[in-house]
Amino acid sequence: MPSLVITLCRCLTLRRYYLLVLAIGYSQLEAISAEVVANIKPADEAPQIEFVRDVVPVLTKLGCNAGACHGSLQGRGGFRLSLLGFDPATDYEQIFKAARGRRVSLASPAQSLLLQKGTAAIPHGGGRRVTADSSAYEIIRTYIAQGAKPIAADEPQVVRLQVTPPDAVLKPGEQVAIQVNALYSNGSQREITPWALYDARDPQANEVSPQGVIKSLRAGKSPVSVRFSGHVASVAISSPLGDAKPSTGFIGRNYIDDLVQAEWQRLGVTPAPLADDYTFFRRVHFDLIGTLPQAEEVRAFVASTDPAKRQKLIDDLIQRPEYADYWSLKWGDLLRVHRRYVGDKGLGSFSSWLKRSIRENKSLDKLVHELLTAEGNLYANGPVAYYFVDQKPEELAETTAQLFLGVRLQCARCHHHPMEVWGQDDYYGLAAFFTRLEVRDTGERGRFGGIQSLRTADHETRTLQRPAQPRLFGSIEAVPSQGDPRKALADWMVSPSNPYFARNFANRYWAYLIGRGIVEPIDDMRATNPPSNPALLDALASDLIKHQFDLTHLVRTICNSSVYQLQAELAPDHDKDGQLFTHRVPKRLPAEALLDAINQATGFQENFTGTPPGTRAIALPDPTIESTFLATFGRPPRNNPCECARESSPDLLQALHLVNNNGLQSRIANPNGRLHSLLKQNPTERELAERLYLSTISRPPTEAELNTIHELLPESPTLVEGWEDVLWTLLNSPEFSFNH
């Protein structure tokens, strides 16, 4: 071990095999192992402290510029800092210039209000953030003592963070100290481990100390994010659930199965068995066409001995008209197809364009390109509606990023995204593509006045809150400004070189079909929210690109995998949240599919106001059609492009509505309904029970269930009432309202 000359030292930390030098003013060296002999002396002259490089990270680490403190948009106690230090120039002004410079004393640094408040030497709403013997304090004090050197124009910027190790496998209880280096624009690098911010994605899975020591708390997989100076990274922490198992009896059918299985083996978990035909049949119906299968269909499928019957079923369902209805519903939520934005006629053109695109299996790149470059008459050209749902360039930027890139950019409207690299330049660079749009009145009368037509002007028609040139996302070069700039955006958006587009849709479709995204939440892709299986996401994305963005190919590939066809586990003892895809996670049916299923099972024809009789809920063009049921079960009002806008969790009102709603009872007891029609045929108890089970939960009753029914039926005053109660029970069972 060579002797060390410490130039900057107050707290020395022994970190693996090297000493990390943290700050000025050495006092005492502790905890150095016997072999290490360090020759440590305080430097005669402390090195120059820089505001951006040294001071801002300290303020960030101490929490001074957090959103709840001075980083709030309004500041706190008259003192405002930029959120997490993303705007150092303003921070410098605030600290050293604003309030007539009263916050610092160059002559007597320790007497500076900044430090006095921070140490709570004088009352501070935020309490004591720092002690006078800490390195953080020393950095700020020294900076002031050195004259608070202003920010130099050429001060190096952080370009990237380097985290070692980038991932780790830890047993519960084990820990790892990570090291974070910042790489600067001038080629230099420094270790910044003590000053980075750390967050465990799931605090019950991992614990992370402010010094970057990560401890695994339980088996599973969960990332820890690292943030420093507007840059982010994440460390994947896996904690095996058992020993690696070489073979599980699982038979893979395509690349999905191989990649998922590799992860199971790494983490030592076994998958659930394949689902039986009844379960598979019901699942794939709900996933692909949002529709409960009929009893006869169930029977026929189970009876078939064709070894390729599952594959054929998937192909058949994709051809069904309900496929277009159901996927238009999903896309309609995303694109916010709603007459409030485009009027009745605009709704017609938008929703029929969408449904036609899905029915004709328009490729994803074509569909999105049409949306992004749309122009002309709103009532003749559906995709033009995209520019009526949002009109402000800022909102169009947010929607475009979230829908097509899977990136939530909203934060960057006002400040640098706290969990991403995206800043206001990225935000307004994207918004600038939408500043030349012009809506013109064609003179013809429509519901909201004249019929509207969209075109691109040769000048800016809409101004941004912050002026910017159009820039492709993640690039620093402006797009040349001839013609319609949206063309360049659309071309880039759907090109295979766009790293976000295919991954975003691969993840969405995976989540729609499997019940959980590889990235979750599914439309929040960012460095601090890594995929649970990166290789799988990459493979799905390249497959999508390789197949010319054919979405039905993606659907087929996923549904034909063994992973898709695994049995559900209600109470898994490993992989509890399903992120390793070892089993199916049951999910409540969407409002529309559930209402349709109840109507089908009870033989009731719903009449929605203003639609032809027999229109199904999944085929409704927009949510203006009133329905207490749909509202209760989370139909989104289509005012938010977030996937989270559809409420899918159960609640009390839903339970009350299914248990005790008059409407449900009248459907069950309807003399012309399914149950009473069946009763008129004088079926045996077994026949009727089988029929009801197959037409609700898509499987026959077990012998035990038949016995229970036999035992409970006589408790009712009449047999009819008893059977009504059986049907009510089936409709209220979780096996009915969940897709599993």
**Site stretch for another protein (CB under 8 A), options 72-80, 147-155, 305-313, 356-364:** 72-80
Measure the N-to-C terminal CA separation of the chain; round to a whole number of Å. 61
Q: Which of 293, 634, 673, 700 binds another protein (CB under 8 A)?
A: 634
Site for another protein in 331-350 (CB under 8 A): 340-341
Q: Which amino acid is at 177?
A: A
Site residues (CB under 8 A) for another protein, limited to 399-438: 408, 410, 419
Q: Is 732 in the site for another protein (CB under 8 A)?
A: yes
Using CB under 8 A as the binding rule, whether residue 157 contacts another protein is answered as: no
Kindly state whether residue 188 participates in binding another protein, applying the rule CB under 8 A: no
The region, left, alpha or beta by phi > 0 then psi within -120 to 50, assigned to residue 25 is left
Instruction: Return the range that interacts with another protein (CB under 8 A); candidates 182-190, 322-330, 496-504, 719-727.
Output: 719-727
Binding segment for another protein among 39-47, 68-76, 379-387, 606-614 (CB under 8 A)? 68-76
Q: Under a CB-based contact definition with an 8 Å cutoff, are residues 619 and 319 in contact?
A: no
3-state SS string for 217-282: CCCEEEEEEEEECCEEEEEEEEECCCCCCCCCCCCCCCHHHHHHHHHHHHHCCCCCCECCHHHHHH
Residues with Cβ within 8 Å of residue 558, at least 6 apart in sequence: 256, 509, 510, 513, 514, 540, 564
76 binds another protein (CB under 8 A): yes
Q: 231-239 and 167-169: which strand pairing?
A: parallel
Q: Which CB sits closer to another protein, 470 or 673?
A: 673
Nearest partner of 104 among 65, 57, 142, 63, judged by Cα: 142
Number of residues that bind another protein (CB under 8 A): 62
SS3 69: coil
Q: Give the whole-angstrom CA distance, residue 495 versus residue 369.
A: 10
Q: Is 449 one of the binding residues for another protein (CB under 8 A)?
A: no
Among 375, 425, 460, 577, binds another protein (CB under 8 A): 577
Provide, rounded to whole angstroms, the least separation between the CB of residue 65 and another protein.
14
Enumerate the β-bridge partners of residue 565: none
Among 273, 496, 650, 683, binds another protein (CB under 8 A): 650
**Of the candidates 31, 34, 68, 251, which one interacts with another protein according to CB under 8 A?**
68
Tokens at 278, concatenated: 């009844």
CA distance 213 to 177: 4
Burial code (b: 16+ CB inside 10 Å, e: under 16) for 365-396 equals bebbbbbbbbbebbbebbbbbbbbbbeebbbb
Residue among 13, 72, 116, 465 that touches another protein (CB under 8 A): 72
Query: Nearer to another protein by C-beta: 11 or 407?
Result: 407
Q: Work out whether 27 is an interface residue with another protein (CB under 8 A).
A: no
| Residue 380 touches another protein, criterion: CB under 8 A | no
Q: Which of 252, 446, 637, 683 binds another protein (CB under 8 A)?
A: 637
- Which CB, 87 or 524, lies closer to another protein? 524
Interacting span for another protein (CB under 8 A) from 531-539, 551-559, 600-608, 730-738: 730-738
442 binds another protein (CB under 8 A): no
Task: Answer yes or no whether residue 496 interacts with another protein by CB under 8 A.
Answer: no
Half-sphere exposure (CA, 13 Å, Cβ side) for 438?
Answer: 12
What's the CA gap between 341 and 329, in Å, rounded? 17
CB-based contact 70:76 (threshold 8 Å):
yes
DSSP string, 571-588: S-SSSTT-TT-SSBPPEE
Under DSSP, the state recorded for 625 is: S
Binds another protein (CB under 8 A): choice among 1, 99, 262, 712? 712
Per rule CB under 8 A, is residue 716 in the interface with another protein?
yes
Stretch touching another protein by CB under 8 A, among 165-173, 178-186, 607-615, 636-644? 636-644
Q: Taking the alpha carbons of 65, 69, 73, 79 in that order, is the dihedral positive or negative?
A: negative
661 binds another protein (CB under 8 A): yes
Q: Which two structure tokens, joined as six digits, stand for 546?
A: 């390789």
Q: Does 119 bind another protein (CB under 8 A)?
A: no
Q: Which is nearer to another protein, 5 or 414 (CB)?
A: 414
The stretch near another protein (CB under 8 A) out of 84-92, 286-294, 326-334, 718-726 is: 718-726
* Minimum CB–partner distance for residue 125 and another protein (Å): 9
Binding mask 601-630 for another protein (x = CB under 8 A): ------------------------------
Spatial distance between the Cα atoms of 400 and 410, rounded to a whole number of angstroms? 11
Stretch touching another protein by CB under 8 A, among 306-314, 481-489, 552-560, 634-642: 634-642
- Contact between 521 and another protein (CB under 8 A)? yes
Q: Residue 283 or 362: which CB sits closer to another protein?
A: 283
Q: Which stretch binds another protein (CB under 8 A): 46-54, 228-236, 430-438, 639-647?
A: 639-647
Token pair, residue 56, equals 């801002």
Residue from 588, 618, 587 nearest 515 by CA: 587
Identify the residue among 361, 562, 567, 640 touching another protein (CB under 8 A).
640
3-state helix, strand and coil shares in percent for the chain, rounded to the nearest 5: 40, 15, 45
> Which one among 276, 316, 651, 687 touches another protein, defined by CB under 8 A?
651
Residue 164 CA to its chain's centroid (Å): 26
Residues 522-561 contacting another protein, CB under 8 A: 524
Asked if 323 interacts with another protein (CB under 8 A), we say no
DSSP for 165-200, written as a single string: SSEEE--TT-EEE-EEEEEETTS-EEE-GGGSEEEE
Per CB under 8 A, the list member of 457, 570, 719, 720 interacting with another protein is 570
Residue with Cβ nearer another protein (209 or 707): 707
Asked if 244 touches another protein (CB under 8 A), the answer is no
Separation of alpha carbons 319 and 330, rounded Å: 17
Tell me whether residue 611 or residue 708 sits nearer to another protein (CB atom): 708
Residue 720 near another protein by CB under 8 A: no
Task: List Cβ<8 Å contacts ≥24 apart for 331-336.
Answer: 331/358, 332/621, 332/622, 332/638, 333/636, 333/638, 333/645, 333/646, 334/403, 334/641, 334/643, 335/371, 335/385, 335/386, 335/389, 335/403, 335/641, 336/389, 336/638, 336/639, 336/640, 336/641
Chain residues that interact with another protein, rule: CB under 8 A: 67-68, 72, 74, 76, 340-341, 408, 410, 419, 521, 524, 570-572, 576-577, 585-588, 634, 637, 639-640, 642, 644, 647-657, 659-662, 665, 702, 705, 708-709, 712, 715-716, 721, 725-726, 728-730, 732-735, 737-738
